[in-house]
Structure 1
Amino acid sequence: MTTALETIGLWNIASAQPDRTAIVNPDGSEVGYGALADKANAYARGLRELGLDTGDAVVVLQPNSDELLAVYFAALQTGLYVVMVNWHLVGPEVAYILSDSGAKAFVAHERFADVAIAAADEAGLPASGRFAVGRIDGFRDVGELGAGGRGRPEVLTAGSPMLYTSGTTGRPKGVRRPLSGADPDSVPGASTWFFGIFGLKPFDDHVHLCGSPLYHTAVLNFASISIQLGHTAVLMDRWDPEEMLRLIERHRVTHSHMVPTQFRRLLALPDEVRAKYDLSSLRNMIHGAAPCPPEVKRRMLEWWGPVVTDYYAATEGGGTMITGEEWLRKPGSVGLPWPGSVVKILDDDGNELPAGEPGAVYMQMGSSTFEYHKDAEKTRKARVGNLFTLGDVGYLDEDGYLFLHDRKNDMIISGGVNIYPAEIENEMVMHPKVVDVAVFGVPHEDWGEEIKAVVQPAPGVTPDQSLTDELLEWVRGRLAKFKLPRSIDYAEELPRDPNGKLYKRKLRDPYWTDRKI
């Protein structure tokens, strides 16, 4: 099998091995490299014919499919910014992204027709720039893009994703990196380097399983780089734990990008279900995006072996990584900085703190730069010199391994004592009657804040006082007294996105808004 680096990249592989499988769609249909490249070429021609020039933006509102990735690669080869939209957003939220990004084209799926129409109308996007996969009133069929032409567009220069933050504290902000001007046929060294961190090499019989929505930064990166490196990408539409196991066995999956919520649902499967699938093909199951309770991580390592890898990273650049074997020696850590990445712990005045002392986590990735689109103030507040922060609090141990406490905004200060909710959540979520839990501070007249837990009970469990007593007794033997929740409320479901990120502010804000003054 050919593994020479010069043969990687969608268009190079399409030329040499057009029938090689690039994508397995959620419906099981397979798309070869040649067919994917042809579709990306047509869409690229069409966007250029529409008048989009280098640096312009196209917005995509689609489920996981070869159609979404074809638009991505169309933008990649023509110097466009491509914005993948969270399909849980409503019309005005999508309209804001259309307007803020300056989008000149919008490609939506008929599944999200109502939102797409409302957003395009509110943003004032002309009908000529609206395209649909399927049928959407007022939108042109996406098949019209580049129809009648052949080959690749005249202008070939590398485009880039323009990624929007989740917007849990106000409107989302786009992270817009300067275009490199590179040849889109040359896979960036950063891509092969990044996959190399996880031991993932070009070709090498790799198969990637994509179980989360491609509008997430890391999910899109892992799927698109996999294709660029000759790895088949198996796409799921809606993640299901047993279906994931079936696909791993069926397609001999080697790697995936996961979140702790998925681990918990996998572990909840009956033993006989977990045992009936052959998972021996797995080489590296990578997780990030949300903190993983240590006991969940330990149980996954016992089941899958040391193929479970944790990393901490940011859309803005930089990060850390820890293998399963390392984690067993440093439980709870998110690892050492990537090669070329800098991680420092700073106090509120920007001074570097010694090993073992918690503070704000700051990172830098080589000479990488970024800005929050149209928000210079947010960019300024996130930086100290060339370092930036996501607002996380943690510390480095004496060996340089990073341990995270929590987001600074989520930290509870009760009676002058700093309390990190993640520590409490990690204990409570392991109770068999708890599906999910969020811990945060609520107003207290004397202490400033007191600890509140909101629990999603397991199916069939009654959320009553006896359950509250049971849960409080559970954590009483595991945590210091000052870390114990003072009260527990219940919810049918906690507000998480499909990638596992908890929108804690949606739970916390009503307790402060309703405060009597």
Structure 2
Amino acid sequence: MEERDIDDLPKNEANYTSLTPLWFLKRAALVHPNRRSVVHASVQYTWQQTYRRCCRLASALSNHSVGFGSTVVVIAPNTPAMYEAHFGVPMSGAVLNAVNIRLNASTIGFLLEHSSSAVIMVDQEFFKLAEEALKILKDKIKTNFKPPLLVYEKFLESGDPEFVWKPPQDEWHSIALGYTSGTTSSPKGVVLHHRGAYLAATSNVVVWGIPEGVVYLWTLPMFHCNGWCFAWTLAAICGTNICLRQVTAKGVYSAIANQGATHFCAAPVVLNTIVNAPPEDTILLLPRLVHVMTAGAAPPPSVLFKMSQNGFRVTHTYGLSETYSLSTICAWKPEWDLLPPETQAKLNARQGVPPHLNT
């Protein structure tokens, strides 16, 4: 009789399912249906409402023949619609491409062609930019297409809030497409799959030690590597997303004081703006410790020092589009707490170590 390894067991529906961060949203709606999910100025949604809105979006896209193999472009700042797209688009089976709103029309036109976009969702503030990009695309491919224009909320109304979406059959299927800045040549596309997005989203919780129910302030653009995958992380921990259309020091301090924000991510340049804001835009004494994650160019020790003096606890990380979110983290050591603040800032300014060692 042929010997068989006890681990040589086939996959089946009872013991295996593809990883996808889309499950986070469904769970958040089930566990905390009435907890605030997304806040944007006077607009507030609960997790149950966000889940139903995302189902509507997925359904409406499906009704327009958007599904597996399609790409949906979103040109928008940090708004509820941008957050919903991170779930609603892949729930339809399509791939999300959140476009950098700071790019020019020519570059966006290149992205539209390169990504073979089926649908473009555009915030009203950037409608003219999208129009210019589409005109460049039309002239380049010599096609006189005229896409129909639909208002987002009306589009959602055409969808079914009870839409039965399906998770990916293979966790290797794409969930999002992003592009590098293209400073020296044409932007290069980076494809994220469901498995990687799931693991990166949960990794954020482990690396940063984020508690359940956190109130997170969106100072980091969601078009930057899907907000370093925090768009999916917030659903995993059933937190609250505070959206800012424009990031200002006054807006950050206001969200901390009035919305209960406890965490946010930002590039060093944003930290510099916060610590150098005029007194009328700041809070002299924060109501609580506010945790900040910064990445990109290494932050100067002077900025880290000022952030610490102002009541912020900064975690210094670094990442790449190709690695989903965090690539390295300057892991804080308890013995550093006994050092002078200036020395702490210098240590925290150093590039860190891999958050996970897989070699």
TM-score by length of 2: 0.79
What is the alpha-carbon distance in structure 1 between the residues aligned to residue 281 and residue 220 of structure 2?
22
What does residue 316 of structure 2 align with? Answer: 310
Assess if the C-alpha contact under 8 Å between 1:59 and 1:105 holds in 2: yes
What does residue 259 of structure 2 align with? Answer: 251
What does residue 35 of structure 1 align with? Answer: 49
Task: Specify the structure having the higher radius of gyration (Cα).
Answer: 1
What is the alpha-carbon distance in structure 1 between the residues aligned to residue 75 and residue 230 of structure 2?
19
Per-residue CA deviation, residues 80-117 of structure 1 (Å, 9 max, x unaligned), is: 21111122223322121111011111111222222222
What is the alpha-carbon distance in structure 1 between the residues aligned to residue 226 and residue 307 of structure 2?
21
What does residue 393 of structure 1 align with? Answer: none
Q: Given the alignment, which residue of 175, 197, 208 partners 1:198?
A: 208
1:432-447 mapped onto 2 (5 Å cutoff) = none
1:188 and 2:198 are equivalent in the alignment: yes
Q: 1:291 to 1:78 in 2, by over 3 A?
A: same
1:162 and 2:172 are equivalent in the alignment: no
What is the alpha-carbon distance in structure 1 between the residues aligned to residue 352 and residue 204 of structure 2?
15
Q: Report percent identity of matched pairs.
A: 20
Per-residue CA deviation, residues 159-201 of structure 1 (Å, 9 max, x unaligned), is: 5121100111121111024555x9xxxx824422232111114
What is the alpha-carbon distance in structure 2 between the residues aligned to residue 222 and residue 249 of structure 1?
22
Assess if the C-alpha contact under 8 Å between 1:56 and 1:104 holds in 2: yes
Per-residue CA deviation, residues 40-65 of structure 1 (Å, 9 max, x unaligned), is: 11111122222223232110011211
What is the alpha-carbon distance in structure 2 between the residues aligned to residue 312 and residue 341 of structure 1?
17
Which is richer in strand? 1
What does residue 152 of structure 1 align with? Answer: 163
Per-residue CA deviation, residues 421-440 of structure 1 (Å, 9 max, x unaligned), is: xxxxxxxxxxxxxxxxxxxx
SS at match of 2:34: coil
Q: 1:8 to 1:257 in 2, by over 3 A?
A: same
1:70-219 mapped onto 2 (5 Å cutoff) = 70-124=84-138, 130=147, 138-142=148-152, 143-144=154-155, 147=158, 149-157=160-168, 159-178=174-193, 180=195, 188-201=198-211, 203=212, 205-217=213-225, 219=227
Shift of 1:122: 3.8
SS at match of 1:149: coil
SS at match of 2:103: coil
What is the alpha-carbon distance in structure 2 between the residues aligned to residue 332 and residue 69 of structure 1?
31
SS at match of 1:68: helix
What is the alpha-carbon distance in structure 1 between the residues aligned to residue 114 and residue 355 of structure 2?
33
Assess if the C-alpha contact under 8 Å between 1:309 and 1:321 holds in 2: yes
Q: 1:101 to 1:252 in 2, by over 3 A?
A: same
Assess if the C-alpha contact under 8 Å between 1:60 and 1:107 holds in 2: yes
Structure 1 stretch 169-178 or stretch 228-237: which is displaced more? 169-178
What is the alpha-carbon distance in structure 2 between the residues aligned to residue 274 and residue 100 of structure 1?
43
What is the alpha-carbon distance in structure 2 between the residues aligned to residue 150 and residue 241 of structure 1?
37
1:31-70 mapped onto 2 (5 Å cutoff) = 31-70=45-84
Which is richer in helix? 2
For structure 2, the 5+ residue unaligned runs are: 1-20, 337-342
Q: Which amino acid aligns with 2:111?
A: I
> Relative contact order, CA 8 A, sep 6+: which one is greater?
2
RMSD: 2.9
What does residue 295 of structure 1 align with? Answer: 302
TM-score by length of 1: 0.56
Assess if the C-alpha contact under 8 Å between 1:8 and 1:229 holds in 2: no
What is the alpha-carbon distance in structure 2 between the residues aligned to residue 28 and residue 212 of structure 1?
21
SS at match of 1:63: coil
Per-residue CA deviation, residues 248-303 of structure 1 (Å, 9 max, x unaligned), is: 12122221101211222222234676453534142x21101222112221222233
Q: 1:268 to 1:49 in 2, by over 3 A?
A: same
For structure 1, the 5+ residue unaligned runs are: 1-5, 131-137, 343-517
Q: Which amino acid aligns with 1:236?
A: L
